[in-house]
Amino acid sequence: MRVIGVVLLAVALGALEVPGLIRERQWRQIGAVTTILVIGAVWAGLLAIRVPLPSISQVLQWIVGPLSRV
Amino acid sequence: MRLEPGEISRNQATYLLCVAVLGTAITTAPHSMIAVAKQDAWLLGLVSGVYSLVPSFLWLTATAPWPRKDLFEVTLAAAGPLLGTAINLLLLGWLLSLVSVVTWQGAAILIDNFLPSTPWPVVVGSLLLPAALAVRGGLEVTARLAQLVFWGLVTTIGALGLLLVFEFDVDRLQPVLARGFTPIAGGALTLGWIFESMMLVAVLPFVARRDRSWRLIPALAGIIALAVSTVAFLVVGVFGPALPTRFRFVTLQLTHVIRIGEIIERIDAPLAIVWVTGIVTKVAFWYWLSCLGAARVFGLSNYRPIVRPMGLLVGAMTLAWFRNESEAAEGIRAWSILMLPTIGVAVPLLLLAGRTVRRALGRSSS
């Protein structure tokens, strides 16, 4: 629960700019902020609830492993 | 449109890139260097310095026609909108992986040595938060920080050399080149800093006076190679070639053997202050470059609103990199091996080829 709380806090911190951007009608900036926040929040959320995702390093090994054998 | 309004001096650019490499390399590199080259680890550092010149000069040549455009604008100008955007996405992916690996290393140093019971997300967050503040302040803030940290790092290496003089034994560095030059020539290619220093080209557009800036490349390679080699030299001279492979952050172990009279002992606290500031500065530089890249990819006019969301993404990536610490050493090595031929060599060559083709077709944009 604490980790989920940390994730929610980080999302809230990341979204602090959004009201100002809405006032200034910076739609492209809002789109970028939202996209990055959603990707980050989903990823951090999955890690927080301990979904057994492969690590980035493991994925890299799957790519580099066959290459190094060639 | 210029995304970064700040300008820095040539010296600041050199200090910034030195800290962007040495921030973690000073503590992490000796372990992997000694694992590969044993007592010849110091030679490995020097050879990697020579290797680092290749990607650096390739990148400098590829970006030279556009001295005032940032790295991500140059790729669009050289390779066209389609290929340029693809290269920018590749660069952004590399930068995000780099900043998260650097943050992971920084967090590992802190947890292993100073904060063993603090949860990972807390340590990662406490590294990213000050870095995010520096990034929001712009390049000038990070460059000023690097200027301070650089001399701190130089002083700590010098102080270690002086204080370890009674523990140092030259015999531990013998025999030189016992297994020949091949392990050194091959091993130097796996050192991550070779392709970190090439990102001097990302800073050059923001340097106030850019004339003869190519001179910064050998200067940078020389400073970093000398620093990394000196640390490896000290570690082997004090511990020998076998013991350091058991410690991941063996440079910190050096501080534990310093005992001069009963006055100078356990000097790890002042060194840790400098090194942790170095880690934060290193994270801040790569974080800044990632934000600049993301802003270009999204076509934004300002990168500052995405600094905090990028922090969340980098934090998530940092925690997702390795399942455990034993996976980290092999993972970082595999990542370095993959990145040198792609980002270090293939991408600048692709930009040069793209520029030539576009010039031949009469579509050059300068």
Do B207 and B9 form a contact (C-beta atoms < 8 A)? yes
Q: Per residue of chain B (366 residues), what is the pLDDT tens digit?
A: 788 888 999 999 999 999 999 988 888 889 888 988 889 999 998 999 999 999 999 999 999 999 889 999 999 998 888 989 999 999 999 999 999 999 999 999 999 888 999 989 899 999 999 999 999 999 999 999 999 999 999 999 999 999 988 889 899 998 888 888 888 888 888 787 778 888 899 999 999 887 888 889 999 999 999 999 999 999 999 999 988 888 888 888 888 888 877 777 778 888 888 889 999 999 999 999 999 999 999 999 899 999 999 999 999 999 998 887 778 877 887 787 788 888 989 999 999 998 888 888 876 555
- Whether omega for the bond prior to residue B341 falls within 30 degrees of 0, making it cis, is no
B185: CB partners within 8 A, 6+ apart: B47
Sign of the CA dihedral B222, B224, B229, B234? positive
DSSP state of B301: S
> Is the Cβ of A8 closer than 8 Å to some Cβ of chain B?
no
Interface contact A44-B312, CB threshold 8 A = yes
Closest to A33 (Cβ–Cβ): which among B100, B305, B316? B305
Closest to B323 (Cβ–Cβ): which among A6, A40, A55? A55
Q: Cα separation of B25 and B235, whole Å?
A: 14
pLDDT at B217: 92
Do B236 and B143 form a contact (C-beta atoms < 8 A)? no
Interface contact B125-A6, CB threshold 8 A = yes
Chain A nearest C-alpha distance from B287 (Å): 14
Interface contact B309-A40, CB threshold 8 A = yes
List chain B residues with CB under 8 Å of A40: 309-310, 312-313, 315-316
Chain A residue with CA closest to B97: the answer is A56
DSSP string of B170-225, one letter each residue? GGGGPSTTTT-SHHHHHHGGG-THHHHGGGHHHHGGGBS--TTGGGHHHHHHHHHH
Q: Cα separation of B103 and B114, whole Å?
A: 16
Span A32-66, pLDDT tens digits: 999 999 999 999 888 888 888 888 888 888 877 77
Do A40 and B313 form a contact (C-beta atoms < 8 A)? yes
pLDDT at B352: 92
Interface contact B320-A55, CB threshold 8 A = yes
Chain B residue with CA closest to A67: the answer is B338
DSSP string of A3-50, one letter each residue? HHHHHHHHHHHHGGGHHHHHHTT-HHHHHHHHHHHHHHHHHHHHHHTT
Interface contact A6-B294, CB threshold 8 A = no
pLDDT at B235: 94
Do B142 and B280 form a contact (C-beta atoms < 8 A)? no
Chain A nearest C-alpha distance from B90 (Å): 15
Do B17 and B203 form a contact (C-beta atoms < 8 A)? yes
Chain B nearest C-alpha distance from A1 (Å): 13
Q: Cα separation of B275 and B284, whole Å?
A: 14
Do B103 and B314 form a contact (C-beta atoms < 8 A)? yes
Chain B nearest C-alpha distance from A44 (Å): 5
Numbered residues of chain B with Cβ closer than 8 Å to any chain A Cβ = 97, 100, 119, 121-122, 125, 294-295, 298-302, 305-306, 308-313, 315-317, 319-323, 327-328, 330-332, 334-335, 337-338
Interface contact A57-B309, CB threshold 8 A = no
Q: Which one of B312, B319, B322 makes the best mutation probe of the A interface by having the most chain A beta carbons within 10 Å? A: B312
Interface contact A40-B316, CB threshold 8 A = yes
Angle among Cα A26, A36, B282 to the nearest 5 degrees reads 110
Interface contact B312-A41, CB threshold 8 A = yes
Closest to B320 (Cβ–Cβ): which among A14, A17, A53? A53
Chain-centre distance for alpha carbon B58:
18
pLDDT at A69: 60
**Token pair 């980035």 in the structure block, residue:** A56
| ipTM confidence | 0.87
List chain B residues with CB under 8 Å of A23: none
Do B199 and B289 form a contact (C-beta atoms < 8 A)? yes
List chain A residues with CB under 8 Å of B308: 13-14, 16-17
Closest to A14 (Cβ–Cβ): which among B122, B301, B308? B308
Do B280 and B103 form a contact (C-beta atoms < 8 A)? no
